[in-house]
Amino acid sequence: MTSLPTDTGTGSAPPPGCPAHQPTREATASGLPVLYGAEFAADPHATYDRLRADGVAHRVELAPGVEAVLVTGYDAALEVLRSPYFSKDARRWTALAEGKVPADNQVVPMMGWRPSLWFADGERHLRLRASVDDALGRVNPHQLRTYVQRSAAQLIDRFAGDGEADLVAQYADPIPALVFAQLFGCPDGLTARMASACSRMMDAEPAVAHAGGGELAMFLGELIGVKRQKPGADLTTWLLNHPSALTDEEMIHQLVVLIGAGTVPQTAWISTGTMMLLADERFASDLTGGSLTVADALNEVLWLHSPLSNFSFVYAVHDHTLRDQRTGAETHIPAGVPVLISHAAANTDPTLDVDSGQRAANTSHLAFGAGPHACPARDTAGVIAEVAIEMLLDRLPDMALAVNATELAWRPGPFHRALTALPVTFAPARTSSTEPSDASVGESWNPADAPSSTRPAPISTPRPPGSAPKAPRRWWSFLVRSRPGR
Ligand code: HEM
C-alpha cells in the first residue's frame, strides 16, 4: 500500500531536471506516461505528481497503444466536466473509429459507445437522466438500509465462524449486486442469476466479462418482462413507468449502467474504507474517541483514494486549449482523443486549500464527478457503503488486518482504485439470530422462500445511522496499534 497521498506524499520525489520532459518510470516507446502496469498500481500518485509539474492536462497511455489526455488539475477538471465544448459521445473517438484501437482492446468495454445516458449529450441525456434521477429519488433510505443489512448479514454469516476472510472476495465484491437485486425487485429465483452475471461481467478476463455482459442483458430483458406483468415498488418498475417512455432497449441499457456504474466503485469504496479504518491510526483512534463517524472516514477515502480514479471520459467537440489559470501553461486537446478526468489527482491537487483536518467534513471532492453527468447515486451509494461497513464492525468488532497494510495490493488498470484482496482475522463468531426490524422488505425477496444457502440472515444490532460502536472499537484499535510494522 502507498502512503496516504496528501498526508505523507507518495514516497517518491520527482526526478531531478525538468519534470515536463521526464517520462514516468514505466514509459513506453511513445515516451508517454502510462496508467497501467504494476508500478502504476503500486503508487499512482508518483505518476500524478510528475504529471502535475507539467501543467493541468497531459498525454498518457491508458493501455499499450491507447492514447488519451489526462486532466489532473482540480479547476481544469471542473472546467472540462461542466463545459458544453466536451461531449460524452464515444463515437467521436477517432482511433477506435479508424481501427487503430482494436475493438477487443481491454479498455473498449468500458469506453466504447452504448445507447445509455452515460454516452448521451444534451436533450437525449436530459431525458434519460430524468428517469434515473426520479427512480433513484424514490428509493426509501430506510428500506435501502434494510436491503444492505440483509445482504451483509447473509454474507458475514458465511465466514463469521472461520475466524478469517478476504473482505474483497467474500464481502465487498458480492454485496452491491445483492443490494441491486433487491432495489431492482428481482424475484427470488432470479437474484442469484443476477449476482452471478454481474460478477462475471466484471471479470478481468475479457471473454468471461463479455459472456457475463450478454447473460446480464438477457436476464434484465426477462426482468423487464416480469415487471411489466407484475409491477412493484422497485427501480425497474419506476423506470418502466417513467414519463420518459423508455424503449425496452433503453431500459436494458439504463439498468446495465446502474449496475456497471454502481458495483465496481461501490466495492472499492467499501473495501478501501474498511482498510482505512483498520490500518490508519487516525481513524481507529478518532472512532474510539467518538469524534469521527464511519461516514466521515468514507468521505476521507473519496478524497484520498477516489474509487473511480481516472474516469469521466469526454471528447473535445473541436480542438480545444486548456489553460492553467495559475501558470498560464496551455495544453492542446485535439478533437477525437479521449479526455479523462483524474478524480484521484484532482482531489489531491496541492493547490487545493483543504487540509487533512477538514477533509472528513468536506464534500467538494470530485470522486462523484461534476456537471451534467455527475453521479446521480451519491446518497444511495453512501448509505450502501456506510451500512455495509457498520455491519462488519458490529458483527466482527475485533477484526484486524491479517497482513501488514503495506503488503496489500491494488488492482492494475487506469480506471479504478481498488484493493485486490483485504485479508482479515477475527475471533470466530456465531451466525446472527434475531429478526430484522423492518418486516416490509420481503416484497421482492422473501427470505423464507429462498434456498437455505442464499437465505439472508436477520440483523442483530440496530444502531443510530452513521454512528460507530464505541466499546468494541477500543479492542480493535488496540490490535491495530500493537501490530508490528505499522
Ligand atoms: C449505488 C451505487 C451507484 C450507482 C447506481 C451509480 C450510478 C451512476 C450513473 C448511472 C452514472 C452516469 C450518470 C450520467 O451519465 O448522467 C454515474 C456516474 C458517475 N458515478 Fe456513480 N453510481 C454509484 C456509485 C458510485 C460510486 C461509489 C462512485 C465513486 C465514489 C461513483 C462515481 C461516479 C462518477 C465519477 C460518475 C461520473 C462518470 C462520468 O462522468 O462519466 N458512483 N453513476
pLDDT digits (tens, 9 = 90+) for 6-22: 332 222 333 333 333 33
CA distance 398 to 473: 7
* Whether 127 contacts 244, CB under 8 Å: yes
* Whether 248 contacts 221, CB under 8 Å: yes
Which of 81, 80, 55, 60 has its CA nearest to residue 70? Answer: 60
Atom of ligand 1 nearest to the CA of 380: 1
389's grid cell: 461497513
pLDDT at 199: 74
384's grid cell: 450502501
* Whether 160 contacts 428, CB under 8 Å: yes
Residues with CB under 6 A from ligand 1: 117-118, 129, 132, 257-258, 261-262, 265-266, 269, 302, 307-308, 311-312, 343, 367-369, 373-377, 380-381, 384
Q: Which amino acid is at 424?
A: V
Atom of ligand 1 nearest to the CA of 306: 30
CA distance 149 to 170: 15
Give every strand in the sheet of 86-87, ordered side by side: 57-63, 66-71, 338-342, 310-316, 86-87
| Residue bearing the CA closest to ligand 1, atom 2 | 262
Q: Which amino acid is at 385?
A: A
Going from the Cα of 88 to the center of ligand 1, the distance in angstroms, rounded, reads: 14
- Residues of the chain falling short of pLDDT 70: 1-29, 202-204, 283-292, 433-486
Going from the Cα of 192 to the center of ligand 1, the distance in angstroms, rounded, reads: 24
Strands 338-342, 320-323: parallel, antiparallel or unpaired by DSSP? unpaired
Strands 330-333, 320-323: parallel, antiparallel or unpaired by DSSP? antiparallel
pLDDT at 28: 66
Give me the residues paired with residue 323 across strands. Answer: 330
Going from the Cα of 378 to the center of ligand 1, the distance in angstroms, rounded, reads: 8
Going from the Cα of 341 to the center of ligand 1, the distance in angstroms, rounded, reads: 14
Task: State pLDDT tens for residues 90-140.
Answer: 999 999 999 999 888 888 888 999 899 999 999 999 999 999 999 999 999
pLDDT at 14: 30
Helix (H, G, I), strand (E, B) or coil at 102: coil
Phi, psi (5° rounding) for residue 13? -75, 150
Helix (H, G, I), strand (E, B) or coil at 61: strand
pLDDT at 291: 60
The residues, any chain, with a CB within 8 Å of residue 163's CB and separated by 6 or more, are 425, 426, 427, 428
Query: How large a percentage of the chain has pLDDT more than 90?
Result: 60
- Neighbour-count burial of 21, counting CB atoms closer than 10 A to its CB (0-12 exposed, 13-18 middle, 19+ buried): exposed
pLDDT at 450: 32
Atom of ligand 1 nearest to the CA of 313: 41
pLDDT at 61: 96
Going from the Cα of 31 to the center of ligand 1, the distance in angstroms, rounded, reads: 32
CA distance 50 to 285: 33
Which of 139, 185, 116 has its CA nearest to residue 373? Answer: 116
Helix (H, G, I), strand (E, B) or coil at 235: helix
Q: DSSP class of residue 9? A: -
Task: State pLDDT tens for residues 329-341.
Answer: 889 999 999 999 9
Going from the Cα of 376 to the center of ligand 1, the distance in angstroms, rounded, reads: 6
CA distance 444 to 136: 17
Element housing 7 (H / E): helix 5-8
| Residue bearing the CA closest to ligand 1, atom 17 | 375
Going from the Cα of 458 to the center of ligand 1, the distance in angstroms, rounded, reads: 30
* Whether 413 contacts 178, CB under 8 Å: no
End-to-end C-alpha distance for the chain, whole angstroms: 12
| Residue bearing the CA closest to ligand 1, atom 3 | 262
| Residue bearing the CA closest to ligand 1, atom 26 | 265
Phi, psi (5° rounding) for residue 373? -100, 15
CA distance 111 to 97: 13
Atom of ligand 1 nearest to the CA of 314: 41
Atom of ligand 1 nearest to the CA of 259: 5
From 375, 384, 416, the mutation candidate for ligand 1 (largest count of ligand atoms within 8 A of CB) is 375
Going from the Cα of 150 to the center of ligand 1, the distance in angstroms, rounded, reads: 24
pLDDT at 284: 64
Ramachandran quadrant class, 371 (left: phi over 0; alpha: psi -120 to 50; beta: rest): left
CA distance 20 to 113: 33
* Whether 355 contacts 300, CB under 8 Å: no
Tell me the domain boundaries of the chain: 5-482
* Whether 185 contacts 444, CB under 8 Å: yes
| Residue bearing the CA closest to ligand 1, atom 43 | 375
Which of 270, 346, 278 has its CA nearest to residue 45? Answer: 346
Angle value at C-alpha 36, between 30 and 40, nearest 5 degrees: 105
Q: DSSP class of residue 459? A: P
Alpha helices in 34-121 (DSSP H): 38-42, 44-52, 74-82, 94-97, 108-111
- For residue 90, count other CB atoms closer than 10 A to its CB: 20
Going from the Cα of 432 to the center of ligand 1, the distance in angstroms, rounded, reads: 33
Q: Which amino acid is at 426?
A: F
> How far is C-alpha 7 from the geometric centre of its chain's CA atoms?
22
* Whether 414 contacts 440, CB under 8 Å: no
CA distance 480 to 485: 10
Q: Which CA distances in Å does 465 have to 142, 146, 478?
A: 10, 12, 25
Going from the Cα of 323 to the center of ligand 1, the distance in angstroms, rounded, reads: 27
* Whether 44 contacts 59, CB under 8 Å: no
Atom of ligand 1 nearest to the CA of 119: 15
Atom of ligand 1 nearest to the CA of 385: 27
| Residue bearing the CA closest to ligand 1, atom 15 | 118
| Residue bearing the CA closest to ligand 1, atom 1 | 381
Going from the Cα of 472 to the center of ligand 1, the distance in angstroms, rounded, reads: 34
Going from the Cα of 33 to the center of ligand 1, the distance in angstroms, rounded, reads: 27
318's grid cell: 473541436
Going from the Cα of 218 to the center of ligand 1, the distance in angstroms, rounded, reads: 23
* Secondary-structure class of domain 5-482 per CATH: mainly alpha
CA distance 384 to 269: 10
